[in-house]
Amino acid sequence: MSLNFLGSLIGTEVKINRGGPDSIVGRLLSVHHDFLSVRLIDRTIVFIQLQHIKSISGANSNASRGNKSNSNKSDSNNRSNRSNRSNRSRTFQRFQTAHTFEGLLNQLRFSNVQINRGGPEKIEGILVQTLDGFLLLVVKNEIIRIPIFHIKSINVANKNKSNGNNSNSSSNKNNNNKSNSNNKDNKENKGNNNKNSKATASQIVAMKLMLKKYHSR
């Protein structure tokens, strides 16, 4: 698949792969030497290795608009979406300077990431190092070694994303008097989203010690 062809699709809605957990629908943002970036309907930016793309086609824009309107039913969700849009835009600007997939992984160091979109190969943890064609991921105080070749996609993951969604869904079931409380939660989440995707200073120190022990074995 030529880079010129992929470049011509930048800014359009595309469907990558035909089905299953590896199928991704979103707006193509950029194309690089061995990976591309796609923004999903929920504004998550996913980086995909070109070698794992089996097919790419134009997405159904009407379906995309329908999904978008369904996702924006409430005012609180709209505010949350604007917050996520701003944070994920900064995420893209931060990593768009990488020209290779391995360079991208290096820029993601000490970020909370999700590897692959679904299925048994999906895993989430803190990326601590890339070395000799492998990525080292800390998952629950354990270092997992993953061949970079087998990584189909990667995206920055917000640790509290699922908690925030659960909070919003439960609050929607209650009466309208709770909307003020939800607004406060959204403002707090806006300031914390970037922090949630990056390891804290104390976590980084602890992980560096883990790495030192790991390499000394």
Q: What is the pLDDT along the chain (217 residues), one digit of tens a residue?
A: 788 999 999 999 999 998 888 899 999 999 999 999 999 999 999 999 999 999 999 876 544 444 444 444 444 455 555 555 555 555 555 556 788 999 999 999 999 999 999 889 999 999 999 999 999 999 999 999 999 999 999 999 976 554 444 444 444 445 455 545 555 554 444 444 555 688 899 999 999 999 999 998 8
- Residue 121 tokens read as 């190969």
pLDDT score recorded for residue 74: 46
Q: Which domains does the chain have, with CATH numbers?
A: 3-159+197-215 (2.30.30.600)
How far, in Å, CA of 77 to CA of 149, rounded? 37
What pTM, to 2 d.p., does this model score?
0.73
The CA distance from 186 to 79, in Å, is: 7
| Burial (CB count <10 Å: 0-12, 13-18, 19+), residue 35 | buried
Q: What is the pLDDT of residues 151-208, one digit of tens each?
A: 999 999 976 554 444 444 444 445 455 545 555 554 444 444 555 688 899 999 999 9
Give pLDDT, residue 21: 87
Report the b/e string of 189-215 with b at 16+ CB within 10 A.
Answer: bbebbbebbbbeeeeeeebeebbeeee
- Residue 191 is predicted with a pLDDT of 45
Alpha helices in 29-178 (DSSP H): 61-71, 75-95, 101-107, 161-173
pLDDT for the residue numbered 61: 53
Give DSSP secondary structure letters for 15-54: EESSSSTT-EEEEEEEE-SSEEEEE-TTS-EEEEEGGG--
Which pLDDT value is given to residue 17? 94
